[in-house]
Structure 1
Amino acid sequence: MTLFRVGEGLPTPARSDGYDFVRKLNASIMDSSKTSSAAAPRANVERLYLRVLATSDLHMQLIAYDYVKDRQTDGESLARLATLIRSARSEAESMGALCLLLDNGDTLQGNPLGAFLAKTEFQPNPMVTAMNTLGYDAVGLGNHDFDHGIAHLARCIQAFDAPVVGSNVTSKELPGLTASALLERDVQTTAGASASLRIGIISALPKETATWNRQQLDGLVQIDPPVSALQQAADQLKSDGADIVIALAHMGIALFDEGEEAQNRVAEVAALPHVDVVIAGHTHLRFPGPDHQSAAGANSDTGLISGTPVVMPGSGGSDLGVIDVCLQRDTPETPWAVSDRVVTLRPLTEDIREDPTVATLADDAHLATRKHLAQPVARITEPMHSYFALASPSPVTALMAAAKRYAIAKAVEASDLAQLPLIAAAATPATGGFDGPGNFITLPSGQLEQRHVAGLVPYANQVWAVKATGARIAGWLERSALIFNVLRQDRSDQMLIDPKVPGFRYDALYGLHYKIDLTAPSRFDAAGRPLPGERGRVSDITWQGAPVDPDQEFLVAVTDHRAGGGGMFRPFEEDDIVVRDNAPLDRALIDYLSLPSLERTVPAAPWQFRPAPGVTAILHTAPNALNHLDDIAHMAPEPCGFTQDGFARLRLHL
């Protein structure tokens, strides 16, 4: 635990007709007292107000720029969010409220700017500089902050002015990381008295990070179970005199029972006895709001879980999380206690422009990144896109599979593994989903540049290989097919894709052929547990025209992320990983594309839906997909309007 003391000298609370921060809290307090058998609060009770501002999953989106498409956007960015941060701070100051600004991790990775900074060690990192400029009070770590290696992360941690907290992360390679922080702030109470408030900060990320990022972490970093680590850190902070404890939980709010190896454990964190406020993240969703209406125990209207205020502020700077807390005590000798809280999200609106002070911090790194991304790498003869990749096999996915297969074939050519049938697993990197209708891949015919490769390989993945039997492959395909809703014969226009399942979890296995029956129930529940008596949806699995035997062995090219269980499931064991060389996926893709076109073996489409006459389904895709409907003519696509968030709706005939 590290103590950080700053005297802020905030003014005595005053009225402000333009802002109802105190009014909302006091109204809530009075409402609570009316419904309670306890007596109304005594007049001499001392109160103070705390405002917590939160960001999460910024993913290097410092400015509103799409480096893959090489154009300015009107999308999310920290530079735009800075305007909301300054406004929210000003409001708090006008009411005499103490204001903290916190970040919940996944900050240093996520776009080509972050990758370029890590590979070149361009200094200073403009995201860190921007967060220092905005005056963040504490920063937590997310799983993707490890993606570019420990050395890069260590340099960034050292550059932060604020404490960087990791309660379940231990490493001698990260000397600037602290297990907890105790911030001490001078405040004014409602009685006009000066007081010192001690705020404890704890932070944790999923334990699975150690497996997802083993390439960077093995032997260097220990990651403990998050909930128990947070409990221990919170208990210690309270023992050290913390008046309030805030948990930066880089985890989501579970939308279904995730089983024994759950990643999204915010509900458990919110129930910890000494945790008063929780900042959530990781899943890129929002809370409070409609994203979590199906989450057990979570109040999507009030933002409370187990009575604890929780905020999840989207991703990329899409929203500013705001938690307003009222603390009170009977006498100066008694401890402060949370008496009420109000949780809100402030989304970016069209009228909000980038803060020029923050935006210009990216100028040098931005120009250097664009110059790097403009470098030519290869040529392709036909354009490609991912508009329909979740409805029909996509050339983009086939390209990724071919690059992986080529890399592994070279790696094993002189070994006994070369005797095994070689197939490749590939997920399409951009299929809309949570990130909106702009989240699709488009590759022009002709010259490809580094920026196109960056769009195809958004993460610092390696190409590995696993051994897998036919039986394991069948289960793998069934788990992947959970992305598709079970369609009923008596209903029309059902949604094809389950919105709770992100597109990157859908693996296609190139080299095989198989069918998916959308009208059949799955063999597994949402957490991947077998359902008794269900035969499943995937059938007719063949290799080179022959049925795959359950005991038949294959060599499967995968990413290290999937080999480590990334995507909520792991279809094989540790001993099944047989190739784990240092083979970056982006390098493998460039090597494959550098081959003469005649030497590029493009794998055949591996899967198709089993015909379901009379059944239709709705696919959400990019508006520009309407110019490419001939690509899925076999599904007789019919445009049927647009969603509120800009997706084109297509009716597909199955």
Structure 2
Amino acid sequence: MTCDETPPLTLRILVTGDLHAHLRAYDYLADQPSAGIGLAGLANDIDAARAAHEGPLLLVDAGDTLQGGLLGEMVSETDQVHPVVTAMNALGYDAAVPGNHDFEYGLPYLERAAAASDFVWVCANVHRLSGPTTGASVFLPWTLRRWTIEERELTVGILGCALPESLSWNRPVLDAELGADPMVEAAERAADELRMAGADVVLALAHTGIGETAEADQGETSALPLGRLPGIDCLVLGHTHLCFPGSDYAPREDVDPEAGTLAGTPAIMAGHSGSHLGVLDLALEAAPSGGWRVTGHRASCRAQTLNQPECPRLSALSEAAHENTRRFAEEPIGHTPCALNSHYSLLGNDAYLSCLSEALRRGARQEGVSDMARLITAVGPFRNGGRGGPLNFTEVPEGPVSRRHVSDLYPFENVLALIEADGAALHHWLESAASVFAEQWPDECPRPLLDPFVPSARFDALHGLRYEIDLGHPPFAGRVGPVRRNGAPLRPESKLLVATSAYRAESLIGSGLLQRDQVQVFPQTMIRRLLSQTLADPEAMARVVETSKEEVWRLTAPSGSIAQYDAPAAPAPTPQIGGISFEEPERTRDGFTQFELRFETQPLAFARPRAYVTP
């Protein structure tokens, strides 16, 4: 059949991403159903999208698939086939790319999951650094799928790219046995190889997000540079837990969130936890030189259909894992004499942060730190609402503590690190942490307290210091100060020891704030285990109650500044914070309780000259 006689066709690509082991529509932290999440519920939408399409179809995943929540934690402690892999096999996935969290339990764990998969894990930029296969890709860099349409073969190439940062963030469990090439370089190379192998269409699975600004188009948000590669026809994205196309992104040069294109290349990102199904339809026509070419597209992110039973097939396959996870979650750990929550953890010190600090101090003692007087800790809340919604807060009531509470307090498998840092480096660290807050002005005009373009995960409180964060200054412009230690100013040359997570230490090394020889990592000292030991120790928890009353940092702004702060739908009583009053809250359309914080006193920081700090 000639080119003119061959009718056009549509290639449908169905997309999930950032599942984080959310197999069922269930919140194991709260031990209750949670509508709108889970692969078992999304399976109905996958089946419907399949049934509505008669042409060639692919089902792919954008990574961060295996780790997350209590189900992922439970499976990591066994050698069983991952229940999410079993479900994906049943649904007939074609390919997946590993996300950064998929490396969190080590390479053997990820390789076991890949070996049990009936689909292909593709990753073109992660390779081995040691052993007989030095230089070889850990996974297939790409794969091909073929169909015969009207006597003409359609060949689709699928390549994958993981975040290079995945390896540094997970260095303690990967034991430095892997290397990673830059994502754009590897994708360009793999796309060329796919064209040489006969691919008509090249699909890139990339576990990366879309930058909010041109300056952000790198690192964890490298999607736009990938979209500019001429050899790639479409992108499947992840990592940032957002939807594209859609209102999660504002339009800017080369980013069209309505059409779903990056530099003209069709792109899609499908939320997280099974919240959405991405549907990308590529219009194809027969090419005069043979094969097919892309002539158009249609992309949409479809929210999981609510008020319908979960897919019976996946429910049956996952029932044992579901019940085992519930039992696993209820394993008793200890007791807390006070509530531990993150409702206001960005506003000032509280019992939650003090508990994390106490756990890190325990780890330092266990590892033989003799000069505890020189030790400070870096802690921050993990769940602060934001794009995760009004349920995305840590919530542990006073009383018995089980394993699910520990997972709520500390969601990740991080290990202890100790950092040797001087006062100057600590000041830079605090300036970076303070960049999560938006600049405030004394004009009685309410503004968000948090900068929506800066992830709140950047925030750290340095317990053992006292300091002020002046929101009347822009980020990295002398917001932090004066910094004091034991009542005296912290001198730039003062040497302190900081207990934190290896993940945070690697992030600081990556940003250039620290050198690797300043960091000592303890791969066997799991922070969740330290936290469990702390919660089981009445004397330690008594110290938590006392230290929670100590001021670590104070937010200030010009008198008359009004900042909007989102708390849970049913927040704890507001804390007493000097210089800030909480106005009557309102309920937002997203379900948050929004307070207006009125800054009432002129900060001391305004007497200081602005000292600009390079971010």
Length-normalised TM-score, structure 1 = 0.86
1:635 aligns with 2:580: yes
Q: Tell me what 2:280 maps to.
A: 323
SS at match of 1:312: strand
Equivalent pair of 1:619/1:649 in contact (CA under 8 Å): yes
Q: 1:628 to 1:634 in 2, by over 3 A?
A: farther
Q: Secondary structure at the match of 1:653?
A: strand
Given that 2:217 and 2:224 are in contact with CA atoms closer than 8 Å, whether structure 1 keeps it comes out as no
CA deviation profile, 1:428-453 (whole Å, cap 9, x unmatched) = 01111121110111111121111100
For 1:259 and 1:210, locate their aligned partners in 2 and report how far apart those are by CA, in whole Å.
21
Distance 1:159 1:424, change over 3 A: same
Deviations 1:589-638 (A, max 9, x none): 1122232326753343310112532211110110111x513556963322
Q: Which amino acid in the other structure matches residue 324 of structure 1?
A: D
The DSSP-based 3-state class of the residue aligned with 2:327 is helix
Contact 1:113 1:366 in 2 (8 A): yes
Say whether residues 1:432 and 2:377 are aligned partners. no
Write the distance in 2 (CA, Å) between the matches of 1:124 and 1:553. 48
Equivalent pair of 1:57/1:104 in contact (CA under 8 Å): yes
Shift of residue 646, structure 1, vs aligned partner: 1.2
Q: CA, structure 1 residues 218+317, in 2 after alignment: closer, same or farther (shift >3 Å)?
A: same
Please give the alpha-carbon distance, in whole angstroms, between the structure 1 residues aligned to 2:324 and 2:438. 44
Q: 1:642 to 1:295 in 2, by over 3 A?
A: farther
The question of 1:67 aligning with 2:25 is answered no
* Cα distance in 1, alignment partners of residues 521 and 51 from structure 2: 55
Moved more, 442-451 or 392-401: 392-401
Tell me the equivalent position of 1:621.
567
1:409 aligns with 2:365: yes
- Superposed, 1:542-561 pairs within 5 Å as 542-561=484-503
CA distance in 2 between partners of 1:556 and 1:134 (Å): 47
Maintained 8 Å contact 1:115/1:148: no
Deviations 1:519-553 (A, max 9, x none): 11222xxxxxxxxxx4x111110000000000101
Percent identity, aligned pairs only, is 34
Cα RMSD after superposing both structures:
2.2
CA distance in 2, matches of 1:46, 1:402: 68
Deviations 1:205-261 (A, max 9, x none): 111111101012234222211111111111001001011000001001111244696
What residue ranges of structure 1 are gaps of 5+ in the alignment? Answer: 1-41, 188-192, 524-533
Which of 321, 340, 349 is matched with 1:384 structurally?
340
Structure 2: distance between partners of 1:299 and 1:611: 36
Partner of 1:91: 52
State the distance in 2 between where 1:631 and 1:348 align: 41
Aligned to 1:487: 440
* Aligned mates of 1:395, 1:567 — CA distance in 2: 29
In structure 2, the CA distance between the partners of 1:630 and 1:375, relative to structure 1 (3 Å rule), is same
Greater shift after overlay, 635-644 or 581-590?
635-644
- SS class of match (2:40): helix
Q: TM-score, normalised by structure 2?
A: 0.91
Deviates most, 198-207 or 592-601: 592-601
Corresponding position of 2:531: 589
Corresponding residue of 1:469 = 422
Conserved? CA contact 1:210–1:222, under 8 Å: yes
The 1:599–1:255 alpha-carbon spacing in structure 2 relative to 1, beyond 3 Å, is: closer
Secondary structure at the counterpart of residue 650 of structure 1: strand
Matches for 1:246-265 after TM superposition, within 5 Å: 246-258=203-215, 262-265=219-222
Name the CA distance, whole Å, in 2 between partners of 1:606 and 1:90. Answer: 58
How far, CA to CA, are the matches of 1:598 and 1:586 in structure 2? 15
Q: Write the distance in 1 (CA, Å) between the matches of 2:81 and 2:70.
A: 16
Aligned length: 588
The aligned counterpart of 2:10 is: 49
Match of 1:178, as an amino acid?
Answer: L
User: Does the alignment pair 1:212 with 2:169?
Assistant: yes
Structure 2 partner of 1:116: 74
SS of residue matched to 1:624: coil
What's the counterpart of residue 139 of structure 2? Answer: 177
Specify whether residues 569 and 330 from structure 1 end up closer, same or farther in structure 2 by C-alpha distance, changes over 3 A only.
closer
Q: Secondary structure at the match of 2:279?
A: strand
Aligned partner (choices 342, 346, 358) of residue 298 of structure 2: 342
Q: Retained in 2: the 8 A contact 1:614–1:653?
A: yes
Does the C-alpha gap of structure 1 residues 598 and 179 become closer, same or farther in structure 2, counting only changes over 3 Å?
Answer: closer
> What's the CA shift for 1:184?
1.3
Provide, for residues 290-315 of structure 1, a one-character-per-residue CA deviation record: whole Å limited to 9, x for no partner: 22215542001100111110001111
- What does residue 447 of structure 1 align with? 400
Partner Cα distance (1:472, 1:510) in 2: 15
> Given the superposition, is the C-alpha separation of residues 260 and 328 from structure 1 closer, same or farther in structure 2, using an over 3 Å criterion?
closer
The one-letter code matched in structure 2 to 1:113 is: L
Opposite residue 314 of structure 1, the aligned amino acid is G
Tell me by how many angstroms 1:262 deviates.
Answer: 2.7
Give the C-alpha shift of residue 413 in structure 1.
3.0
SS at match of 1:291: coil
1:471 & 1:215 partners in 2: Cα distance? Answer: 27
Equivalent position of 2:609 in the other structure: none
Q: What are the Cα deviations for residues 94-152 of structure 1, in whole angstroms up to 9, with x where unaligned?
A: xxx2111111110000111001101122x232100110111111111111101111111
Whether 1:578 and 2:520 are equivalent positions in the alignment is yes
Amino acid in the other structure paired with 1:425: A
C-alpha distance 240-598 of structure 1, shift in aligned 2 (>3 A):
closer
Which amino acid in the other structure matches residue 505 of structure 2? A
The 3 A distance-change label for structure 1 pair 585 and 158 is: same
| Separation (CA, whole Å) in 1 of partners of 2:543 and 2:20 | 35
Q: How many Å separate the matches in 2 of 1:543 and 1:313? A: 46
Shift of 1:568: 7.9
Q: How does 1:96-245 map to 2 (within 5 A)?
A: 97-121=55-79, 123-171=80-128, 177-187=139-149, 193-245=150-202
Displaced runs of 4 or more, over 6 A: 173-176
Q: Deviations over 1:252-294 (max 9, x none)?
A: 1111244696321111111111100100111111111122215
Q: Give the one of 521, 535, 548 matched to 2:474.
A: 521
Q: 1:127 to 1:510 in 2, by over 3 A?
A: same
The 8 Å contact of residues 247 and 278 in structure 1, kept in 2 or not, is answered as: yes
Partner of 1:511: 464
- Secondary structure (helix, strand or coil) at the match of 2:466 reads strand
* 2:529 partner amino acid: R
Give the aligned residue type for 1:85. I
Contact 1:512/1:542 (CA < 8 Å) preserved in 2? yes
Aligned to 2:598: 653
Specify every segment of 5 or more residues in structure 2 that has no aligned partner in the other structure, as ranges. Answer: 600-615
For the residues of structure 1 that align with 2:316 and 2:357, how far apart are their CA atoms?
A: 39
Q: 2:556: which partner in 1?
A: 610
- Alignment of 1:367 onto 2:313: no
